[in-house]
Amino acid sequence: MRLAIIGCMVMSREINHLAAESRHVVRIWWQRQGLHDTPEILRSELQKNIDAIERENEQLRPGLKFDAIILAYGLCSNGVIGLRSRTLPIVVPRCDDCISFFLGSAERYRELFRKLPGVYWYNRGWIEQAFTPSKENYRIQREQYAEEYGEENADYLMECTNNWMINYRYCGYITCPLGDCPEHETYARQAAEDFGWEFEKVEGSMAYLDAIVNGPWDDQQFLTCPPHSRIEADYSNKKFHSIPCEIDDWKKK
The string of pLDDT tens digits covering residues 65-92 is 999 999 999 999 899 999 999 999 999 9
What are the φ and ψ backbone dihedral angles of 26, each rounded to 5 degrees? -120, 135
Host H or E run for residue 172: strand 170-174
Which of helix, strand or coil describes residue 205? coil
C-alpha span between 28 and 49 (Å, rounded): 11
Please report the pLDDT score of residue 249 as a whole number: 53
pLDDT, residue 70, reads 98
Identity at 165, one-letter amino acid code: M
Low-confidence ranges of the chain (pLDDT < 50): 252-253
Task: Answer for the pair 230, 82: CB distance below 8 angstroms, yes or no.
Answer: yes
Q: How far apart are the first and last CA of the chain?
A: 30
Question: What pLDDT, in 10s, does the model give residues 181-221?
Answer: 899 999 999 999 999 999 999 999 999 999 999 999 999 99
Task: Look at residues 46, 125, 37 and name the one whose alpha carbon lies nearest to residue 77.
Answer: 37
pTM value is 0.89
pLDDT score at 253: 47
